[in-house]
Amino acid sequence: MENTEKLYKIRYGTEKDDYITRYLKDEHIIDGFLSESKAFDLFFSSMIICNDYLKTRYENIESIVDAYNEDTEEYIDEFQFFIVEPEFDEETTKKAVIKMYNTLYYDEELDLYILGVTDWGTSRTIVSTDLEVYEVTE
């Protein structure tokens, strides 16, 4: 069976217009949700690993999306950090990162966004996000 791309709406927020439209393959979708690897691909134009960044710059960064789980009332551990270049404006990126279950920081002095990844030891191709996808049938 051929794995061709189909057009989908990807919902990144709760507002009516909080979606982007992109072509996806079946392998990018896990039970109706976007895989983490494809989410990274769509929402960031580049990702550079920087695991020691926060150790030296912590006092200079602002948390935009924190790693707090309201259900368990605990902070979620971050296992990797990446300097990222968002594909969209800050508000869209913030909404998408929340649905990816990750964190986002901003270093104003260096004008850098840092993504904190909260899953560990699993291929990002099989990690689901909360970014719902809907096939465009029009």
Q: Would you list the domain boundaries of the chain?
A: 6-135
Q: Report residue 58's pLDDT band, with 50, 70 and 90 as the boundaries.
A: low
Residue 23: what pLDDT?
96
Asked if 89 and 100 count as a contact pair (C-beta separation under 8 A), the reply is: no
pLDDT tens figures, 99-119: 998 899 999 888 999 999 887
Average pLDDT of the chain is 88
**Cα–Cα distance between 53 and 115 in angstroms, integer?**
11
Query: What pLDDT is attached to residue 123?
Result: 77
The one-letter amino acid at 19: Y
Closest CA to 114 of 135, 77, 83: 83
Torsion of CA 88, 37, 107, 103, to 10 degrees: 100
CA–CA gap between residue 28 and residue 45 (Å, rounded): 17
Instruction: For residue range 74-93, list pLDDT tens digits in order.
Output: 777 788 899 999 999 999 99
The pTM assigned to this predicted structure is: 0.85
